[in-house]
Structure 1
Amino acid sequence: MSLPSEAMAALQVFQNAPGWEQRARLLMQWGERLPPLDPAERIEANRVHGCESQVWLVGVLHQGHWQFAASSDARLIRGLVALLLARVNGLTAEQLREVDLADWFNQLGLSRQLSPSRSNGLNAVLQRMAELAGASTP
């Protein structure tokens, strides 16, 4: 499956980073670029359960392709979620189900830095995206 253009850009930037410190800095920058969610969207119904940090997720289906927006109260998680959004935004529901989270973060060179709880949290976010996409499938 080909990657969305934003995911390709992320991959290039992260793969060119010489070490973990640079990747960590990039991760924070990606998190800061995440547009803030409207306070009306930061509600319990949009909260992703299974994350240690608070994460809110909303999704909109536009001409068969999903666009997600998310926010978190934790800086590192915001960066990881921003990279996940880069990977999945613009995908169809079917493509979304094929996303391999571990492989994506491995390609970015971030997998070793994902603790089990962060990994579980990101899987919960991806699962929530799939639920949203599945709920709207005709």
Structure 2
Amino acid sequence: MASAAFEEIVEDFEFLEDWEDRYRHVIEQGKAMEPLEEALKVPATKVDGCASQVWLHPTISDGRFHFDGESDALIVRGLIAVLRSLYNGLTLAEVVAVDARAELERLGLNEHLSAQRSNGVRAMIERIRDTAAAQL
């Protein structure tokens, strides 16, 4: 069920031998994202449960889910980019149906993130799923 963009990341990870290279790749994904407009960094878009500052701004257009995001931590910004590749462009029903944990496990992220980072990723996924479910 993963998008083509996410499958591309999975393929990239298969070529990267060690976790440090993968970690750098995630960071590069985040650096490639457009920054979130300052006006969108408000309490309503802030994600609680993350050790870093995280904002997610979802939009729904033509029945498709999209979100932009920002963080003050490079690795978290990269994780936002990975989640964007997983969810952006899906229908609302598809967003709710994605098994994000299983998809991220394909990247080996689950065993290489600190407990705080893992909690933050879960909080972001929960926000994404809740937003999509509320629009169904």
What is the TM-score when the length of structure 2 is the normalising length?
0.93
Name the SS of the counterpart of 2:67 in structure 1: strand
Superposed CA RMSD in Å reads 1.2
Q: Give ranges in structure 1 of 5+ residues lacking alignment.
A: none
Aligned to 2:25: 26
Amino acid at match of 1:86: S
Q: Aligned equivalents of 1:103 and 1:135: distance in 2? A: 23
Q: Deviations over 1:45-85 (max 9, x none)?
A: 11011111111001111111101101001111111111011
Q: What displacement does 1:110 show?
A: 2.1
Q: Deviations over 1:24-43 (max 9, x none)?
A: 11011011012100110011
What is the TM-score when the length of structure 1 is the normalising length?
0.92
Aligned to 2:79: 80
Verify the 8 A CA contact 2:67 2:88 in the aligned structure 1.
yes
Aligned to 1:94: 93
Verify the 8 A CA contact 1:101 1:123 in the aligned structure 2.
no
Q: What displacement does 1:118 show?
A: 1.2
Name the SS of the counterpart of 1:71 in structure 2: strand
Aligned to 1:70: 69
Instruction: Report the identity percentage.
Output: 35
Structure 1 residue 7 corresponds to structure 2 residue 6: yes
Amino acid at match of 2:25: L
Which portions of structure 1, spanning 4 or more consecutive aligned residues, are displaced by more than 3 angstroms?
none
Q: Give ranges in structure 2 of 5+ residues lacking alignment.
A: none
Provide the aligned length of Structure 1 versus Structure 2: 136
